[in-house]
Amino acid sequence: SQQGEEDPQALSIQEGENATMNCSYKTSINNLQWYRQNSGRGLVHLILIRSNEREKHSGRLRVTLDTSKKSSSLLITASRAADTASYFCATVPSGTYKYIFGTGTRLKVLA
Amino acid sequence: GAGVSQTPSNKVTEKGKYVELRCDPISGHTALYWYRQSLGQGPEFLIYFQGTGAADDSGLPNDRFFAVRPEGSVSTLKIQRTERGDSAVYLCASSLTKGTPSGNTIYFGEGSWLTVV
């Protein structure tokens, strides 16, 4: 079973706009990671945030983590058509070593 | 190798047949994962190896699925008596060490697309 869910399931925006997607999870975690997937094949790691961190930045990406609400958000600023992909959050539940993925947000950036 | 390599990239097989999917992790990575992903869904955990041993196989759906990693490097996912419901992309990933509270990035291969007809 999957750990959590991304919201929204699908998002369509214009190039240059910001895209925000959210992830909720169910159990306590060691860390949370965001991945990107093009065309249903391999996933590419974007950013990792540890359970004791609240916010992290990497280029145009900003990730927040609220462990009290068991939720995270991924913000992509100044989106580009090349950002079109599916985005997944993955958590490592405490006491395990397995990465559990959410259901994903399909982002479409229109040129 | 430079990245995680999976073969075959595509496999079409008849219902009831036996299938093997191979994963060659990044050199030196001790942790190896297998996931299954159906269309429109997130990757679903199947099994995790630390070295040669299966540390967590709680995601294997039934006893038709089995995975090995005899020398702690290449892994093979084996599916017996395939069913149409087994059709999915099977993803392999590896990481340098097992997950710790500080976290490790896992690197994915491009996947093996299995179609059972």
Ordered DSSP codes for B74-105: -EEEEE-S--GGG-EEEEEEEESS---TT---
Search chain B and give the residue with CA nearest A38.
Answer: B110
**Averaged pLDDT, B81-94:** 96
Of residues A83 and A39, more confidence is placed in A83
Region of poorest pLDDT, from A32-41, B2-11, B69-78: A32-41
**E strands present in chain B:** 5-7, 10-13, 19-24, 31-37, 44-50, 53-56, 65-68, 75-79, 88-95, 107-108, 112-116
pLDDT band at residue A40 using 50, 70 and 90 as cut-offs: low
Answer whether B25 touches A (CB < 8 Å).
no
Q: List the 34-93 stretch of B: residues with Cβ below 8 A of A.
A: 35, 37, 39, 41-45, 48, 50, 55-56, 58-59, 89, 91, 93
Whole-angstrom distance, CA of residue A14 vs CA of residue B74: 43
Whole-angstrom distance, CA of residue A15 vs CA of residue A77: 10
- pLDDT tens track for A52-66: 999 999 999 999 999
Residues of A with CB under 8 A from a CB of B: 2, 30-31, 33, 35, 40-45, 48, 50-51, 88, 92, 96-104
CB B68 within 8 A of CB B75: yes
Distance from CA of A63 to the nearest CA of B (A): 16
